[in-house]
Amino acid sequence: MIREKCGIEHDGSFGSGRFCCIKCSNSRPCTPEKKAKIRAALSQGCVTRVCANEGCTNTFDTKPSSGKMCCGRKCGAQWRFTNIPYERLVEIGFRSGRALKRKRPSTIFDVSVRTTRKILQRLAIACVNCGWDKTTCDIHHINGHKIPNANRHDNLTYVCPNCHRLIHNKKLDATTLPTFEDIVGEAWRKYYGGCNET
């Protein structure tokens, strides 16, 4: 047989016999008609969907039978961790390491100490008692650590190291101070990059 690309004679044992080797078959030119045929075959039976992730308005093409709900991996991870319980993700074996660890934190204590420090620096809030703001202050548990759900934001307050010592020495009443919920609310989440939440 004559080689299609170079015109060299060959025995036709490779593939369909049109080419002599893989290098020749990969280097063949793709005509516009061939490209149009491939494009039509790929788009056949596709549906256009809107990304299911909250806040994303991108559209994407997919097969009707596919379970694809989001436009990309990032949106897909955010959607899963917002809509599927953590226990269910473990049960179905979704173990993508970093992504599984990034479940939605309920309080600022659900993230690492280093991340908490970064969030507090970005918030740039001052001591609720004296207004000191030279560096990050301390988070104080108003009713202690031994109550159920002690890390809830309505049990936390934000005070400087000096006021924190006054509270522990019973010279300042922490129950009269504004709570972390009053000061920050859910605004801390926009400074937490773990879930890219706004």
For residue range 1-50, list pLDDT tens digits in order: 555 556 667 676 666 666 677 777 666 667 788 777 777 766 667 788 88
- Identify each DSSP E strand in 118-183 by its residue range: 138-141, 156-159
d(CA 81, CA 103): 6
Query: What pLDDT score does 198 carry?
Result: 38
**CB atoms near residue 106 (< 10 Å):** 11
Q: How confident is the model at residue 90 (pLDDT cuts 50, 70, 90)?
A: low
Which of 188, 189, 137 has its CA nearest to residue 164? Answer: 137
CB contact at 8 A, 50 and 57 = yes
Q: How confident is the model at residue 121 (pLDDT cuts 50, 70, 90)?
A: confident
Mean pLDDT (the chain) is: 78
d(CA 18, CA 15): 7
d(CA 122, CA 184): 12
Q: Is 196 buried (19+), middle (13-18) or exposed (0-12) by CB count in 10 A?
A: middle
Q: Which two tokens stand for residue 58?
A: 């991108």
Whether the predicted model's global pTM rises above the 0.75 cut: no
